[in-house]
Amino acid sequence: MMAATKDNPMKKLHVVVTIDIEVPTCDSHPSASGPPDHEKGGAWAQAYGEIAKSFAMPVTYFIHPEVAVRQADLYKKLESQGHCLGLHIHAWRFDRRYQCEFGGLTEDQARQMLSEATGMWMTAFGQRPRHFRPGTMSANDSIFRVLSSLGFAGAAVSLPGRVFPQKHAVWAGAPLDPHRGHSHFRMLEGDLDVVNMPMSVDTSIVVEKNGLRFLRDLRPDFMDVNHRELVTRCIDQTMARDPDVACINLVTHNDFDFSDAKSEITRNFVKTLTAICDVCSERDINWVGSTMDDICSEVLSSPTKPYQFNPNGGRVMFDKDARPKA
């Protein structure tokens, strides 16, 4: 591998470690994601942060508002240690009137729910939430317009390749790298001040399971993958795209006991972070542990790319126009 020189500077890669902090299943539903109770949920979230910190990677915690209120001191402490906080909502867990995930809400319902959750966040932390991730990565085309109008800076709302229509979570063909949100089409880069950080995925293998289609991301909960190979493919694909802001990010949930070093999920998490460091070192990539705050600053300081319309319509799929010319 070529060493970095003045003419060939080391490439930079942001590594963003995230976790969704769920309402405990004792307060939601036995089959839902989440820890069994608040005490374990908090301890496991903290243990996750300690592992990431040992790799010099801060964590961005996306916290369900009820948990933010209940465990505000814990998350304030984590923030003071360099971690970052954002809001997480599963629509049906937040308000039982809605039997759907966030993308199933109308624009007014979404705005109302985010405003109510913001009120709870203010109670917990004395300030508005800056970032948002919907449960199950469920969102419709109003998402960035709504987040922008409510003053959110960062969104981690898309999981490219995911096709879960019943969850209002369809992201096949979505942008793969951090970008500004679009005011009325979630699948395109736009010009809003709200920044979306798509989850990192391996685009080389489309997985079909139980009638659902998805690409694999870097979550440690996947038991049937080689985490090192997955990391290698995600990093190589990201660097080959050469985006304005190169970022690898991963997610999990506080369902798992990250204080148990022997558990398979904890070992997978450590394997994944170790692999990120190793692969970057092998490829002369200068990785830096970053948060959603950092990704927002980087994207907002990059130039916006104006949308270019091409009038070729559906003929975009053919190499040439075969119609007789007049």
Nearer to Zn ion, 23 or 270 (CB): 23
Nearer to Zn ion, 49 or 135 (CB): 135
Question: Which one of the spans 12-20, 118-126, 137-145, 261-269 is the region binding Zn ion (CB under 5 A)?
Answer: 12-20
Question: Which one of the spans 16-24, 37-45, 229-237, 257-265 is the region binding Zn ion (CB under 5 A)?
Answer: 16-24
Q: How far apart are CA 159 and CA 176, in angstroms?
A: 8
DSSP 267-291: HHHHHHHHHHHHHHHHTTEEEEE--
Q: Is 24 in the site for Zn ion (CB under 5 A)?
A: no
Structure tokens, 279: 């692969």
15, 18, 20, 201: which one binds Zn ion (CB under 5 A): 20
At closest approach, how far in Å is the CB of 118 from Zn ion?
18
SS3 track for 239-251: HHHCCCCCEEEEC
Q: How far is CA 158 from the centre of its chain?
A: 7
Question: Which one of the spans 20-28, 99-107, 207-215, 230-238 is the region binding Zn ion (CB under 5 A)?
Answer: 20-28
Q: Report the Cα–Cα distance between both ends of the chain, in Å, rounded.
A: 55
Q: Please give the single-letter amino acid code of residue 156.
A: A
Q: Please give the single-letter amino acid code of residue 209.
A: K
Question: Which one of the spans 5-13, 114-122, 135-143, 167-175 is the region binding Zn ion (CB under 5 A)?
Answer: 135-143
Neighbours of 285 (CB within 10 A): 20
Q: Residue 309 — left, alpha, or beta (φ > 0 → left; ψ -120 to 50 → alpha)?
A: beta
At closest approach, how far in Å is the CB of 22 from Zn ion?
5
Q: How far apart are CA 324 and CA 326, in angstroms?
A: 7
Helices and strands per DSSP (H, E), number in the chain: 9, 13
Nearer to Zn ion, 20 or 189 (CB): 20
Q: Is 135 in the site for Zn ion (CB under 5 A)?
A: yes
Nearer to Zn ion, 190 or 198 (CB): 198
CA dihedral 166→101→258→285, nearest 10 degrees, is 80
Q: How far is CA 278 from the centre of its chain?
A: 23
* Shortest-Cβ-distance residue relative to Zn ion: 135
At closest approach, how far in Å is the CB of 192 from Zn ion?
24
Question: Which one of the spans 19-27, 227-235, 304-312, 315-323 is the region binding Zn ion (CB under 5 A)?
Answer: 19-27
At closest approach, how far in Å is the CB of 88 from Zn ion?
6
At closest approach, how far in Å is the CB of 35 from Zn ion?
12
Q: How far apart are CA 124 and CA 126, in angstroms?
A: 6
At closest approach, how far in Å is the CB of 60 from Zn ion?
14
Nearer to Zn ion, 255 or 298 (CB): 255
Question: Which one of the spans 74-82, 127-135, 179-187, 201-209 is the region binding Zn ion (CB under 5 A)?
Answer: 127-135
At closest approach, how far in Å is the CB of 302 from Zn ion?
29
Nearer to Zn ion, 63 or 231 (CB): 63
At closest approach, how far in Å is the CB of 34 from Zn ion?
8
Q: Is 160 in the site for Zn ion (CB under 5 A)?
A: no
Q: Is 297 helix (H, G, I), strand (E, B) or coil?
A: helix
Structure tokens, 97: 């009137």
Q: How far apart are CA 199 and CA 296, in angstroms?
A: 15
Site residues for Zn ion per CB under 5 A: 20, 135
